[in-house]
Amino acid sequence: MEQSLLYPVVNAVRTDQKLDGLWRFSFDAVGVGPQEGWAKHLPKAVDMPVPASFNDFFTDKDAREYTGDFWYEKKFFVPADYQGRFVGLRFDAVTHRATIYVDGVKIRSHEGGFLPFVADVTDALHYGEENTVVVQGNNELSREALPAGDTITLKNGKKMVRPFFDFYNYSGINRSVHLITLPVERITDYTTDFTLAGADADVHYTVTTTGDHDVVAVLRDADGQVVAENTGKQGTLHVTDAHLWNVRAAYLYTLTLRITNDTTIVDEYSAEIGIRTIKIVGTEIQVNGQSVYLKGFGRHEDSPFAGRAFDLNVEKKDFSLMQWSGANSFRTSHYPYDEQVYQMADREGFLVIDEVPAVGFKMAAASFLGGLNQSFFKGPWIKPLHAKHLDQITDMIKRDKNHPSVFAWSLLNEPDTVTEESVPYFKQIFAETKDLDPQSRPRTFSLSEDDTIETSKDLDFPDIYLLNRYPGWYHYAGYQISDGEAGLREEMDKWAASGINKPIVFTEFGADTEAGLHKLPSVMWSEEYQVEVLEMFSRIFDSYPFIKGEQVWNFADFQTVEGNMRVNGNKKGIFTRDRQPKAAAFFYHKRWTNIPLDYKAQK
Ligand code: CKX
C-alpha cells in the first residue's frame, strides 16, 4: 500500500514539475540491462513520448507485440534550493511493473499498471545538478497478477502475452511523471464524509500528517467565500444552506488543509470536494436521499497512436459526447483511470463506478481470448493474486475516496462465481475491504452471463448487482434475437420472483458494429442491427422496476488482441475509435435525454 497518493498541487509550499515529453527508450528482450549498467544510462535508445503506450508507434510487429522488460531514461535538473525538502518522483501509472533508479541507484519497485506511486528520491539526488531517472518496466501477464493472463514463449524465442481479458495490453509510462517537492512536515492524506440535516450539512474530515503540529481546515464555496473553519486533525465543518453536489448538477467547495507553526505555513493542501450522500435503499440507488437512474457507458482509456495513455484532449471530447448522449454515469472498466478523469467527472456531475483491474478471473469465459477451461479460483496462483488484488483495491480507494463522482467500487469484472472455490475468495476480499472507505460506498462486481440468480454462489456479497449480458450477440444472435429477448425476460422474471431487494444495473450489453455498414433488413455487424439489439435491451430495462441503470458496452470501439472474434478490435462502441457517432449514438441521445434522473423512483 502506498504511503501518500495525494494528487500533486502547486502552492506556496508544494511544487510539481511534470517530466512529460520525449524520454529515451529501449527494449531488453534478453535481459542484459541490469548487467550492462542500463540503470545508469541506456547505451542505445530511441525517443519515446511520455505519457504514451509504446506499442502503436512501431511499424514492426515484434516491437508492437513486445513482451518483457523495457527501459526509459530522462535527464532532469534539480535546483539547489530543493535541498532540505521531501523530493519525490510521482508516476501516475506505469503498466504493469516498474523499478526506478536515480543516477544508477535503485530507489524502489512497484507493481500495478493503473495506479500511482511515489519514489522518494530525497537522498539520492544531486542538488544543483542534472540527474538521470531510469525506469525498468515490464509488461508480462501472469495468473498471479492483475489483470490476469499468461505470457508464453514462441518457438522463435519471442515472448507474447495471452490476456484473459478483452483489451490490448498497452504498455509503458501511460500517465504523467511528476517531480514533486513537499515540506518535511506535511499532509499525507485526508478523508471526508457528510451528513445532511435539513438545508445544512456537516463535513466530517480527518487528516494525517508526518508531524505534531495541528491542522486548520477551511471550507470555501464556489465563489471563494469561507463557509466553515475548524482546528484539529479531525473535526466537523458545519455548512449552513449547503449547496449539494448532484448528478449532472455538480457544486464543488474547496477544502484547504493547513499546518501552521505560529504564523508560518508549514504545509497546505487544497482540493475540490462535493457534499452529497450515497445510499442503497432496497432496490433504489439514492444520491442525497433521491432515487437516481444510471444512464451511460462502460469505457476504456483507449485511443489511436498513444494507446492507453491519458490524453486530456480525448478525455474532453469523451465528456462532451457523453453529455450530448444524455448519459450521467460510467464505469472505469476495467481498471482505475487517470486521476484527471475523476476531477472532470466531479465537475460535470457524473457518477462513476470505479473498477480495480481484477479482470480475467474466469478462464473459461475468455476462452476465445486464450483462457483455459478450468476453475480459476482452484489455481495455485490464488494466494499471491489475492495479496495483489487487496493491495490494488486499497490503493484505488485511498486514491479516489474523496471524489464526489465515485459512487461505487467494483472489485472484480466477470469473475467465476459458480464454483464453490470462489466463495472463500469473495468472503475474504469483501471482509478485508469493508472498512477502507470512510464514505462506505457500495461495493460490487459485474456478473457474466454464466453467473445468474440460479448459478452464482456469491450473490450475498455485492451491494448492487451489476449484470453483463449478451443475448443478441454471443448467443441468440441475428434472426434468433427474439429468443434472446425471451430468455432475458425469463431471467429477469426469476430475479423478480426472488423478492430481489438490491438494485440491478446492466453494466454491459451490446453488439459489435462496423461503422458505415448499412443493411435493410439488418444483419449482424450493421449499424441497424446494433440499434435493434439496444432497442431490445431498452424494452427489458423499461419493464422491470428493480433495474436501476443501463451502461452500454462500450462508449467507443477499442483495441484488443487480434483473433477470429475481433476485426481490429472490439467494435461494440456507440462511437468509433476516433469518436464519431454510429446510428446507436443517436438512439441513445433520444432515449436518455428523455429519461428523467428519478426514473422508476418509488414515489
Ligand atoms: N465482457 C462474454 C468483458 C469486456 C468485453 C466484452 C465483449 C465481454 C463479454 C463477455 O471486457 O469486451 O466481449 O465485448
What are the extents of the domains in the chain? 20-175, 187-273, 292-592
* 551 alpha carbon, distance to own chain's centre: 15
pLDDT at 2 (0 to 100): 66
pLDDT at residue 26 above 60?
Answer: yes
pLDDT at residue 395 above 50?
Answer: yes
pLDDT at residue 404 above 70?
Answer: yes
pLDDT at 603 (0 to 100): 74
What's the 36 CA to ligand 1 centre distance in angstroms?
A: 42
pLDDT at residue 392 above 80?
Answer: yes
Instruction: Give all strands of the β-sheet with 105-111 in edge-to-edge order.
Output: 46-50, 21-28, 69-78, 129-138, 97-102, 105-111
In CATH terms, 20-175 corresponds, of 3.40.50.300, 2.40.110.10, 3.30.360.10, 2.60.120.260, to: 2.60.120.260
Atom of ligand 1 nearest to the CA of 558: 12
Q: Is 47 exposed, middle or buried (0-12, 13-18, 19+ CB in 10 A)?
A: exposed
Task: For ligand 1, say whether the CB of 468 is within 6 Å of any of its atoms.
Answer: yes
State the Cα–Cα distance between residues 402 and 203, nearest whole angstrom.
12
pLDDT at residue 364 above 70?
Answer: no
pLDDT tens-digit profile of 535-556? 999 999 999 999 999 999 999 9
From the list 404, 399, 409, the residue with the least C-alpha distance to 433 is 409
Is 490 part of the annotated catalytic residue set? no
State the Cα–Cα distance between residues 271 and 568, nearest whole angstrom.
41
Q: Is 11 exposed, middle or buried (0-12, 13-18, 19+ CB in 10 A)?
A: middle
State the Cα–Cα distance between residues 466 and 178, nearest whole angstrom.
36
Question: Which phi and psi (to 5°) does residue 360 adopt?
Answer: 95, 15
pLDDT tens-digit profile of 304-331? 999 999 999 999 999 999 999 999 999 9
Q: Is 196 exposed, middle or buried (0-12, 13-18, 19+ CB in 10 A)?
A: middle
pLDDT at 370 (0 to 100): 47
Helix (H) or strand (E) holding 264: strand 264-273
What's the 453 CA to ligand 1 centre distance in angstroms?
A: 20
pLDDT at 564 (0 to 100): 87
State the Cα–Cα distance between residues 317 and 310, nearest whole angstrom.
13
Kindly state which CATH superfamily the domain 187-273 is placed in: Immunoglobulins (2.60.40.10)
Q: Nine-digit cell at 585? A: 449514438
- The residues with which 599 forms a beta bridge, in sequence order, are none
pLDDT at 129 (0 to 100): 98
Is 268 part of the annotated catalytic residue set? no
Task: For ligand 1, say whether the CB of 508 is within 6 Å of any of its atoms.
Answer: yes
CA triplet 239, 244, 247: central angle to 5 degrees? 165
Q: Is 145 exposed, middle or buried (0-12, 13-18, 19+ CB in 10 A)?
A: buried
From the list 169, 106, 103, 174, the residue with the least C-alpha distance to 136 is 106
Pick the more confident residue, 168 or 602. Answer: 168
Q: Nine-digit cell at 311? A: 490524453
When pLDDT is averaged across residues 520-526 and rounded to a whole number, the result is 98
pLDDT at residue 366 above 70?
Answer: no
- 20-175 and 187-273: identical CATH topology: no
Mean of the per-residue pLDDT values for the chain?
A: 96
Q: Whose CA is nearest to atom 13 of ligand 1?
A: 166
pLDDT at 365 (0 to 100): 47
Question: Which phi and psi (to 5°) does residue 493 adopt?
Answer: -60, -35
C-alpha distances in Å from residue 415, one per residue of 76, 167, 395, 422: 43, 16, 21, 9
pLDDT at 374 (0 to 100): 66
When pLDDT is averaged across residues 518-538 and rounded to a whole number, the result is 98
pLDDT at 323 (0 to 100): 98
- The residues with which 201 forms a beta bridge, in sequence order, are 196, 239
Grouping H, G, I as helix, E, B as strand and the rest as coil, residue 472 is coil
Catalytic residue among 339, 508, 527, 532: 508
Percentage of the chain lying above the pLDDT 70 cut: 98
C-alpha distances in Å from residue 528, one per residue of 20, 516, 533, 578, 584: 43, 10, 9, 20, 8
Confidence class of residue 60 from pLDDT cuts 50, 70 and 90?
very high
Q: Whose CA is nearest to atom 7 of ligand 1?
A: 166
pLDDT at residue 344 above 70?
Answer: yes
Atom of ligand 1 nearest to the CA of 365: 2
CATH 3.40.50.12780 given to domain 292-592: no
Atom of ligand 1 nearest to the CA of 448: 10
pLDDT at 1 (0 to 100): 66
- The residues with which 525 forms a beta bridge, in sequence order, are 513
Task: For ligand 1, say whether the CB of 530 is within 6 Å of any of its atoms.
Answer: no
What's the 534 CA to ligand 1 centre distance in angstroms?
A: 16
pLDDT tens-digit profile of 178-204? 999 999 999 999 999 999 999 999 999
CB 378 within 8 A of CB 419: yes
Task: For ligand 1, say whether the CB of 572 is within 6 Å of any of its atoms.
Answer: yes
pLDDT at 373 (0 to 100): 60
When pLDDT is averaged across residues 31-46 and rounded to a whole number, the result is 97
What's the 166 CA to ligand 1 centre distance in angstroms?
A: 6
pLDDT tens-digit profile of 229-257? 999 999 999 999 999 999 999 999 999 99
Mutation to probe ligand 1, out of 334, 470, 525, 574 (largest number of atoms < 8 A from CB):
470
Torsion of CA 110, 130, 174, 247, to 10 degrees: 90
- pTM of this structure: 0.98
